[in-house]
Structure 1
Amino acid sequence: MSQPETTSQPGATPQSGTTPQAGSAGPRHRLVGVPGGRIHLVEQGSGPLVMLVHGFPETWHSWRHQLPALAAAGYRAIAVDVRGYGRSSKPQDVSAYRMLELVEDLAAVVRALGEESAVFVGHDWGATIAANTALVRPDVCAVVALLGVPYSPRGGVRPSEVFARIGGDEEFYVQYFQEPGRAEAEIEADVRGWLAGFYAGLSADTMDTSGEHSLFFVPHGARMADRFPRGPLPSWLSEAELDVCAGEFERTGFTGALHRYRNADRDWEDLAPWDGAPVTQPSLFLAGAQDASVAWLADAVEAFPQTLPNLAASHLIEGCGHWVQQERPHEVNAILTDWLKGLDLPGS
């Protein structure tokens, strides 16, 4: 059932370098009713709508540096909590987290905000959600930017079969996430410590570069965290910012977030009508050069001329890992705003 919209103006603004720039009001938190329940978002600025979609394990907070920058550049920036995260709805059913459900959440947010379409900018899982929104709901997605994870069209092999082959003698992390309750038991025993290790393991300045062990593969009987680096937090993440992230997941748990991974085969079935289909909207790709996703999905990047025929540019930022918009916010903000300036956007 759809929830009524509520709004609030919290006393605190997003942390770490996100003081609103001249000409832009501070961020505003809202709850927007959608057919699947409610979506929490943080809004700043006015102008063409730019929808920011986070990945795992993050929340709207991962876009804290982009909200004021986009607002100051003349855009209405919206950072959502994806279904299962933060203050957004958290259905119990695993299948409620299939891709088509998440696409419809975001399409409903665009319309609830009084707009016909928006720019979609996604990171990690958010990039995949943004790309599929462009594919499935081109009426609401005018242009799309993908951060960290390149677009890879639905193919002929069931994902669970692919994951089994990738793992070999160990479990690929997506397999490790499949059994409800298993990964939750590991993570929720020490939410703050697990997040710190996972963020550090994928950050350019703290990741293990020896190549001996990958945190994406779990030996049988072990924990994913056993291969996390032990040491300081990444330079982009303060203790206070980690507290914000950990506080959200301490409150919500990880089940909703992990259910996204548990829908890979359902998504493959649901997206059969779009098998091999390109995303034809104007697009942009941006990632850290040290992001493992770029190496794994090198074939997807090479296929961009076919899969993203209207790609403006593909940027790899040297010395940057997976958390690109947080590790290198100034460069990301400059690339995004320069790209957006050259587009004829709805509401401009």
Structure 2
Amino acid sequence: MKTRIIKVDQLNFNVFDQGMGEPIVLLHGFPDSLKVWRKLIPHLLAAGYRVIAYDQRGFGATDAPIGVTNYRSRNMIADLVGILRTLHVTEKVKLIAHDWGANIGWGAVIAHPELFSSYVTLGVGHPTAYAKAGGFEQLRKSWYAVSFLASGWAEKLYSQHNWALFRKFTRNNPEASRNWLPDLQRPGRLTAALNWYRANLNPYYWESQAVKVDRTVDLPVLGIFGEQDPYLSYAQLHNSVRYAPQLKIVAIVGAGHWLQLENTTLIFQRIRQFYAK
């Protein structure tokens, strides 16, 4: 994919921006980069959309500022707004997001609803539903997040023995050797990625971001859930309808966490049907 570097608020962002139609923005999560969208992007371009994807701060070819506080979610929301401004996007945006990107996506549509026409979240529910409705199942599936909080120790634990625990945690996904590890093995990059968790996983997470998370999202929202997702519970997405009344949920039988890579055609079909309504 052909990308370019743009500067937004003193940081260099690696950005993909192609197409001439209605804008779609794609937000990746951990431990990805914009490459995670490489299979979906051609479908969206062929459908006539302008597609924008970028490496979020700390990932891929985008800058990785030093310090935990640089990775607070309000900064990533500001990054999104700044990138739209820098790219002269004046139309309302169709937002599609995955994993941590979906957390940022929820924060963005809550804080800046005027910028978006719809939201597609891959797996992740509204932040209040995630916190209140995920229950024991979500706690069990999120065990890794606690280990990520131990600065220094986590970096050693996950990288030792040729990244054995990281490979186990990601279930020997071929993306590890293809994309994740080449990125994370660079100096400071694993710490930058883990800082997303360290900056935001605390009892006052969203309150500290100046985002009113109990605010209703009055936009069309599509939630696509992989029934075999090892990291997310269905309850946290299902109960998001309390905070997003227009939420529609599609569950994909047999699908896992990386829907955009493993179920690309089906995901595109569901998104296209959602946009057609």
Q: TM-score range by the shorter chain?
A: 0.7 to 0.9
1:290 aligns with 2:224: no
Residues 164-195 of structure 1 deviation map (CA, whole Å, 9 limit, x = unaligned): xx57xxx9322211121121112233566555
Structure 1 distance, partners of 2:82, 2:220, is 22
Deviation at residue 137 of structure 1 after TM alignment: 1.7
Distance change >3 Å, CA 144–CA 29, structure 1 → 2: same
Aligned match of 1:95? 69
Distance (Å, rounded) in 2 between the aligned partners of 1:155 and 1:70:
29
Residue 303 of structure 1 aligns to a residue whose secondary structure is: helix
Corresponding position of 2:254: 319
Assess, with a 3 A threshold, how the Cα gap between structure 1 residues 60 and 287 changes in structure 2: closer, same or farther: same
Secondary structure of the residue that 2:128 maps to in structure 1? coil
After TM superposition, list the pairs within 5 Å mapping 1:22-41 onto structure 2.
27-41=1-15
Q: Which residue of 1 aligns with 2:190?
A: 254
* Preserved contact between residue 291 and residue 321 of structure 1 (Cα < 8 Å): yes
Change (3 A) 1:30 1:267: farther
154 and 191 in structure 1: CA distance in 2 versus 1, 3 angstrom threshold: farther
Taking the aligned partners of 1:194 and 1:176, their CA distance within structure 2 comes to 11
* 1:288 Cα deviation from its structure 2 partner: 0.4
Letter in 1 for 2:272: T
Q: 3-state DSSP class of the match of 1:143?
A: strand
The unaligned stretches of length 5 or more in structure 2 are: none
Q: Given the alignment of the two structures, is residue 86 of structure 1 paired with residue 60 of structure 2, yes or no?
A: yes
Who is 2:102 aligned against? 127
Tell me the distance in 2 between the aligned counterparts of 1:192 and 1:88: 23
Matches within 5 A, 1:39-78: 39-78=13-52
**Mapped partners of 1:254, 1:131: distance in 2:** 25
Summarize deviations over 1:234-291 as a string: whole Å, max 9, x none: 5xx47xx832332122225311111011122363332465141122111110010111
Q: Which of 111, 123, 131 in structure 2 is aligned with 1:136?
A: 111
Pair 155,269 (structure 1): closer, same or farther in 2 beyond 3 Å:
farther
The answer for the alignment partner of 2:273 in structure 1 is 338
Residues 1:280 and 2:251 aligned together: no
Partner SS, residue 113 of structure 2: coil
SS at match of 1:308: coil
Q: Which residue of 2 aligns with 1:182?
A: 153
Aligned counterpart, 1:8: none
Structure 1 distance, partners of 2:228, 2:50, is 31
- How many pairs were matched up? 269
2-side partners of 1:187 and 1:306: how far apart?
37
Residues 199-235 of structure 1: CA deviation (Å, up to 9, x unaligned): 32xxxxxxxxxxxxxxxxxxxxxxxxxxxxxxxx55x
Give the match for residue 11 of structure 1. none
The question of 1:309 aligning with 2:245 is answered yes
Q: Is the Cα–Cα contact under 8 Å of residues 110 and 118 in structure 1 kept in the other structure?
A: no
How many Å separate the matches in 1 of 2:10 and 2:26?
19
Give yes or no for contact 1:44–1:68 (8 Å, CA) kept in 2: no
Return 242-251 or 116-125, whichever deviates more.
242-251
Aligned equivalents of 2:264, 2:170: Cα separation in 1: 16
Decide which structure has the larger Cα Rg and report it: 1
Q: Deviations along 1:8-46, whole A, 9 cap, x unmatched?
A: xxxxxxxxxxxxxxxxxxx42011211151221223322
TM-score by length of 1: 0.70
TM-score w.r.t. the length of structure 2 is 0.86
Q: CA deviation at 1:96?
A: 0.8
Name stretches of at least 5 consecutive residues in structure 1 with no aligned partner.
1-26, 201-232, 343-348
- Residue matched to 1:345: none
- What code does the residue aligned with 1:286 have? I
Does the 8 A contact of 2:19 with 2:49 survive in 1? yes
Q: 1:36 to 1:178 in 2, by over 3 A?
A: farther
Equivalents in 1 of 2:106, 2:241: separation in Å? 15
Q: Measure, in 1, the Cα distance between the counterparts of 2:13 and 2:261.
A: 23
Larger RCO (CA within 8 A; separation ≥ 6): 2
1:196 Cα offset (Å): 3.7
